[in-house]
């Protein structure tokens, strides 16, 4: 279990995340949504330990992660970052294998884990391709395979492990967006805690057990998608008019009310749209 | 250029296809072949030179010396007193330069980071020249150091300071800017060059001859004491490099990603800087500034066996050693009985190669 204990992150005078406390449980798929600059990625970086809070602390199983060595954390959680640039001619197989760096696995297991992970992201047969020659979406899937490798090689029990995804579907086609979220969902059903920053509200509503809606460094709503994604909340946060409806199976659907004229947001602080 | 590019592509693709993306067994074969080549090259290095000594005579001399027998005086002196230390030094320096280059490129996440190009060698040379011209610093004298001991130490310190400064200048919040790194490297090299120039003014004739040696690079001064003077720097350097191969691989993904996969990023970066300084400092101390080995060797090997440092680093050590032995053989035979400084030979080979790299991968510098 990860826990944010009244964390604040400030760069100079601008506050990016403000006084936020929240627990992240295993066996749950949590999506973080919000406009650009709302603090979503920062929140995720706090959880992964990449960023230290200006005040407050981040706990993993009740221990402050600030004091934990990198290899220990890596045994419990894997992270897919937003940007993944490589300047060297790695093959797809080799990039995926970098997820197994810390693990002591023999050659055969190594090869099996890598091929399994690539199969999971539908990149079987790409092992010998050069990473740099792939499209942006394919690169993103290779990185996901690397992250999944790290999780699979870890000896920790599933109900202790976590998967953090920062905009994992940003450059993917629709089919692979769904495929990727299905994988994440599958992991959360196995007992892992999954936390993902997403931009697509409908996919977040469809896959996540709970959503955190952020605006200006604060959590505006934090509940199951049906409760969190109300028209009022979404309009307040995104400053665009939304229509939220439920289908026959009680799944909610979010659509834009009017994409030509931004609504009058006189109640909320003005921003350029 | 087009031919070269095709050749490059074809090389990478054939390597990849053959091994289904896993180039580790390919790497082991390459390493094995390089070991064999190094043995051949070493023998060649022992036989090549102004005094003609046949391969069988070389073996005979070595064998006799090993069992304590009486070898022919001349061949014994030439082979064991001159050529053997020179060969060993060539192997050590070549390996250090290539591994230092590969480690530095992983640290900066950039295939253009070469200790010679970005001023690290110049910094090491400046420190060494300072010791030659101005004498040994007082604290080292107190420890009983001679100029001989002080040189590698000074060169190491110079390399350490330049590498560290460069890293601090070029890296902001975990991101290294290639342009900043190259430009800062040029500035550092120019500064070190200017300071070296000032020292030239106050140097006497004998010192001036030594200084020329620094700027061109040569293995001519090789003796056994020189070899043993740099071993305490090079051996820990290689051990450090070997231990952090995993960590360097992680760094290639990015600092954040390295941390996420369980790597102690701060420690790896610190060790990498120290390792580069050890390798470059030791090489510069005994052989002056020999350029391009650190960029050409890792680049070619990455195309052949991939950038995985667990295989790349040993392969670099072997290729660097082979390349420097070959360059040294050229340098002492092409204008025999005179000698061409080895730095000229590597520059003639490496300069065009580097230009080709720039032309082929124009986008590289904008990373």
The candidate with the shortest Cα–Cα distance to B270, out of B171, B177, B190, B189, is: B171
Contacts of A71 in chain B (CB under 8 A): 262-264
Q: Cβ–Cβ of B21/A98 closer than 8 Å?
A: no
Q: Cβ–Cβ of B263/A102 closer than 8 Å?
A: yes
Alpha-helical (H) ranges within chain B are: 2-19, 24-47, 55-67, 73-76, 84-107, 120-134, 138-142, 147-170, 178-202, 205-216, 224-243, 245-253, 255-260, 265-287, 293-305, 309-333, 342-360
Residue B53: CA count within 13 A, CB half-sphere: 27
Map residue B225 onto helix, strand or coil.
Answer: helix
Does the beta carbon of B250 lie under 8 angstroms from any beta carbon of chain A? yes
More confident residue, A201 or A260: A201
Q: What is the pLDDT of residue B67?
A: 72
More confident residue, B92 or B212: B92
Does the beta carbon of B9 lie under 8 angstroms from any beta carbon of chain A? no
How far is A164 from A48, CA to CA, in rounded Å? 7
Q: What is the pLDDT of residue A221?
A: 92
The band of B367, judged by pLDDT with boundaries at 50, 70 and 90, is very low
**Residue B76 in this model has a pLDDT that exceeds 60:** yes
CA distance B361 to chain A (A): 11
DSSP string, A23-47: EE-TT-EEEEE-STTSSHHHHHHHH
**Residue B54 in this model has a pLDDT that exceeds 80:** no
Map residue A251 onto helix, strand or coil.
Answer: coil
Alpha carbon of residue A17 to chain centroid: 17
pLDDT one-digit tens code per residue, B211-228: 777 677 888 878 888 888
Q: Cβ–Cβ of B253/A98 closer than 8 Å?
A: yes
More confident residue, B204 or A24: A24
Instruction: Map tokens 């200790």 to a residue.
Output: B115
Map residue B187 onto helix, strand or coil.
Answer: helix
> Under a CB-based contact definition with an 8 Å cutoff, are residues B70 and B60 in contact?
no
More confident residue, B138 or A7: A7
Q: What is the mean pLDDT of residues A77-103?
A: 88
The band of A272, judged by pLDDT with boundaries at 50, 70 and 90, is very low
Q: What is the pLDDT of residue B153?
A: 83
Tell me the percentage of chain A whose pLDDT exceeds 70. 94
Q: Cβ–Cβ of B111/A48 closer than 8 Å?
A: no
Contacts of B19 in chain A (CB under 8 A): 128
Does the beta carbon of B367 lie under 8 angstroms from any beta carbon of chain A? yes
CA distance A10 to chain B (A): 15
Query: Which of B12, B17, B250 lies nearest to residue A98, judging by beta carbons?
Result: B250
The band of B1, judged by pLDDT with boundaries at 50, 70 and 90, is very low
Q: Cβ–Cβ of A91/B254 closer than 8 Å?
A: no
Element (H, E) at A139: helix A136-153
The two three-digit tokens of residue B96, written as one number:
């250090």
The candidate with the shortest Cα–Cα distance to B284, out of B139, B100, B13, B22, is: B100
Q: Cβ–Cβ of B111/A87 closer than 8 Å?
A: yes
How far is B250 from B244, CA to CA, in rounded Å? 10
Q: Cβ–Cβ of A93/B22 closer than 8 Å?
A: yes
Q: What is the pLDDT of residue B179?
A: 75
The band of B50, judged by pLDDT with boundaries at 50, 70 and 90, is low
How far is B254 from A135, CA to CA, in rounded Å? 19
Q: Cβ–Cβ of A90/B257 closer than 8 Å?
A: no
Q: What is the pLDDT of residue B141?
A: 67
Average pLDDT across chain B, whole number: 83
Contacts of A88 in chain B (CB under 8 A): 111, 252, 302, 307
Chain A: residue whose CA lies nearest to B110: A87
Least confident of A50-64, B71-85, B96-110: B71-85
Chain A: residue whose CA lies nearest to B244: A101
Map residue A243 onto helix, strand or coil.
Answer: strand
Q: What is the pLDDT of residue A119?
A: 93
The two three-digit tokens of residue A18, written as one number:
């403000």
Strand partners, A253: A245
Q: What is the pLDDT of residue B315?
A: 96
Give Cα separations from A109 to B106, B126, B245 (angstroms). 27, 51, 21
> Under a CB-based contact definition with an 8 Å cutoff, are residues B269 and B69 in contact?
no
Size of interface A-B (CB pairs under 8 A): 107
Contacts of B27 in chain A (CB under 8 A): none
Query: Which of A91, A101, A111 lies nearest to residue B249, judging by beta carbons?
Result: A101
Strand partners, A8: A55
Q: What is the mean pLDDT of residues A198-204?
A: 94
Does the beta carbon of B265 lie under 8 angstroms from any beta carbon of chain A? yes
The candidate with the shortest Cα–Cα distance to B232, out of B311, B285, B302, is: B285
CA distance B105 to chain A (A): 10
The band of A267, judged by pLDDT with boundaries at 50, 70 and 90, is low
Strand partners, A10: A15
Instruction: Map tokens 């892992």 to a residue.
Output: A192
Q: Cβ–Cβ of A70/B111 closer than 8 Å?
A: no
Does the beta carbon of B246 lie under 8 angstroms from any beta carbon of chain A? yes
pLDDT one-digit tens code per residue, A149-184: 999 998 899 999 999 999 999 989 999 999 999 999
Q: Cβ–Cβ of B259/A49 closer than 8 Å?
A: yes
Give Cα separations from B319 to B96, B239, B352 (angstroms). 11, 18, 19
The candidate with the shortest Cα–Cα distance to B102, out of B286, B237, B297, is: B297
A107 by Cβ neighbours in 10 Å (0-12 / 13-18 / 19+) ranks as exposed
Cβ burial A177-189 (10 Å sphere, 16+ → b, else e): bebbbebbbebbe
Q: Cβ–Cβ of A86/B253 closer than 8 Å?
A: yes
CA distance B246 to chain A (A): 6
Q: What is the mean pLDDT of residues B58-81?
A: 74
Indicate the Cα dihedral angle A189, A190, A193, A198, nearest 10°. -50
Query: Which of A87, A95, A130 lies nearest to residue B110, judging by beta carbons?
Result: A87
Put simply, whether the predicted model's pTM sits higher than 0.95 gets the answer no
Q: Cβ–Cβ of B19/A90 closer than 8 Å?
A: no
How far is A99 from A118, CA to CA, in rounded Å? 12
The band of A138, judged by pLDDT with boundaries at 50, 70 and 90, is very high
Which of A1-15, A85-99, A184-198 is the most confident on average? A184-198
pLDDT one-digit tens code per residue, B13-44: 555 554 578 888 889 999 999 999 999 999 99
Contacts of B302 in chain A (CB under 8 A): 88-89
R_g of chain B, CA atoms, integer Å: 21
Long-range contacts of A246-249 (CB under 8 A, 24+ apart): none
Q: Cβ–Cβ of A127/B257 closer than 8 Å?
A: no
Q: What is the mean pLDDT of residues A118-129?
A: 91
The candidate with the shortest Cα–Cα distance to B300, out of B278, B323, B331, B272, is: B323
The band of A273, judged by pLDDT with boundaries at 50, 70 and 90, is very low
**Residue B95 in this model has a pLDDT that exceeds 90:** yes
The band of A187, judged by pLDDT with boundaries at 50, 70 and 90, is very high
CA distance A170 to chain B (A): 18
Contacts of A81 in chain B (CB under 8 A): 254, 256-257, 260
Chain A: residue whose CA lies nearest to B108: A87
More confident residue, B33 or B343: B33
Q: Cβ–Cβ contacts within 10 Å for residue B51, how many? A: 13
Tell me the percentage of chain B whose pLDDT exceeds 70. 86
Alpha carbon of residue A1 to chain centroid: 16
Q: In chain A, which residues touch B (CB < 8 A)?
A: 45, 48-50, 69-75, 78-79, 81, 83-95, 97-99, 101-102, 107, 111, 126-130, 150
Average pLDDT across chain A, whole number: 89
Q: What is the pLDDT of residue B152?
A: 82
How far is B318 from B50, CA to CA, in rounded Å? 26
Does the beta carbon of B19 lie under 8 angstroms from any beta carbon of chain A? yes
Q: Cβ–Cβ of A74/B249 closer than 8 Å?
A: no
More confident residue, B33 or B255: B33
pLDDT one-digit tens code per residue, B283-317: 888 888 888 899 889 988 988 898 999 999 999 99
CA distance B31 to chain A (A): 18
pLDDT one-digit tens code per residue, A228-265: 999 999 999 998 889 898 887 778 899 888 765 555 55
Query: Which of B16, B22, B254 lies nearest to residue A111, judging by beta carbons?
Result: B22
More confident residue, B297 or B75: B297
Query: Which of B252, B256, B262 lies nearest to residue A50, judging by beta carbons?
Result: B256
Q: What is the pLDDT of residue B25?
A: 87
Q: Cβ–Cβ of A94/B262 closer than 8 Å?
A: no
How far is B7 from B12, CA to CA, in rounded Å? 9
């Amino acid at each position: 279990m990860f826990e944010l204990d009244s964390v604040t992150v400030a760069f100079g005078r601008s506050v990016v995340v403000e006084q936020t406390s929240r627990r992240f449980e295993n066996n749950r798929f949590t999506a973080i949504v919000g406009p650009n600059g709302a603090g979503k990625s920062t929140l995720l970086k706090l959880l992964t330990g990449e960023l230290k809070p200006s005040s407050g602390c981040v706990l993993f199983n009740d221990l402050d992660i600030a004091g934990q060595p990198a290899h220990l954390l890596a045994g419990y959680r894997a992270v897919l970052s937003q940007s993944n640039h490589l300047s060297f001619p790695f093959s797809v197989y080799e990039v995926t294998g970098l997820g197994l760096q810390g693990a002591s696995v023999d050659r055969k297991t190594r090869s099996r884990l890598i091929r399994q992970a690539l199969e999971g992201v539908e990149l079987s047969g790409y092992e010998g391709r050069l990473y740099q020659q792939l499209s942006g979406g394919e690169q993103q899937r290779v990185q996901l395979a690397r992250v999944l490798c790290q999780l699979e090689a870890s000896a920790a029990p599933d109900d202790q492990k976590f998967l953090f995804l920062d905009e994992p579907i940003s450059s993917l086609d629709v089919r692979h967006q769904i495929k990727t979220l299905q994988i994440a969902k599958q992991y959360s059903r196995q007992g892992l805690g999954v936390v993902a920053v997403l931009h697509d509200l409908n996919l977040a509503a469809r896959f996540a057990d709970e959503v955190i809606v952020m605006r200006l460094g604060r959590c505006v709503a934090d509940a199951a998608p049906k409760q969190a994604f109300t028209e009022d909340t979404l309009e307040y946060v995104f400053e665009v008019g939304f229509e939220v409806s439920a289908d026959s199976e009680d799944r909610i659907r979010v659509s834009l009310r009017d994409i030509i004229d931004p609504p009058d947001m006189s109640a909320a602080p003005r921003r350029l749209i | 250029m087009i031919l070269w590019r095709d050749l490059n592509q074809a090389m990478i693709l054939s390597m990849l296809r053959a091994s289904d993306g896993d180039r580790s067994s390919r790497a082991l074969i390459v390493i094995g072949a390089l070991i064999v080549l190094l043995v051949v090259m070493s023998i060649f290095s022992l036989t090549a030179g102004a005094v003609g000594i046949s391969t069988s005579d070389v073996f005979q001399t070595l064998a006799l010396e090993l069992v304590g027998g009486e070898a022919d005086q001349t061949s014994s002196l030439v082979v064991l007193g001159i050529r053997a230390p020179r060969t060993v030094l060539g192997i050590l320096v070549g390996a250090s330069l290539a591994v230092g280059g590969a480690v530095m490129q992983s640290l900066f996440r950039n295939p253009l980071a070469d200790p010679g190009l970005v001023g690290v060698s110049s910094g090491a040379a400046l420190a060494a020249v300072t010791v030659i011209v101005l004498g040994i610093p007082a604290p080292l004298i107190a420890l009983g150091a001679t100029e001989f001991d002080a040189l590698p130490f000074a060169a190491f310190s110079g390399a350490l300071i330049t590498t560290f400064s460069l890293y601090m200048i070029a890296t902001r919040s975990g991101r290294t800017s290639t342009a900043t790194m190259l430009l800062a490297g040029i500035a550092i090299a120019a500064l070190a060059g200017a300071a070296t120039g000032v020292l030239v003014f106050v140097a006497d004739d004998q010192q001036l001859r030594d200084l020329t040696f620094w700027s061109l690079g040569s293995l001519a001064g090789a003796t056994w004491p020189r070899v043993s003077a740099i071993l305490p720097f090079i051996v820990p350097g290689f051990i450090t490099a070997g231990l952090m191969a995993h960590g360097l691989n992680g760094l290639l993904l990015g600092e954040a990603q390295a941390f996420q996969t369980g790597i102690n990023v701060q420690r790896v970066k610190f060790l990498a800087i120290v390792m580069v300084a050890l390798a470059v400092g030791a090489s510069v101390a005994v052989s002056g500034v020999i350029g391009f080995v650190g960029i050409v060797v890792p680049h070619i090997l990455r195309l052949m066996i991939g950038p995985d440092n667990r295989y790349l680093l040993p392969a670099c050590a072997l290729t660097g050693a082979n390349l420097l032995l070959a360059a040294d053989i050229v340098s002492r035979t092409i204008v025999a009985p005179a000698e061409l400084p080895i730095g000229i030979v590597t520059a003639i080979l490496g300069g065009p190669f580097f230009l080709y790299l720039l032309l082929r991968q124009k986008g590289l510098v904008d990373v």
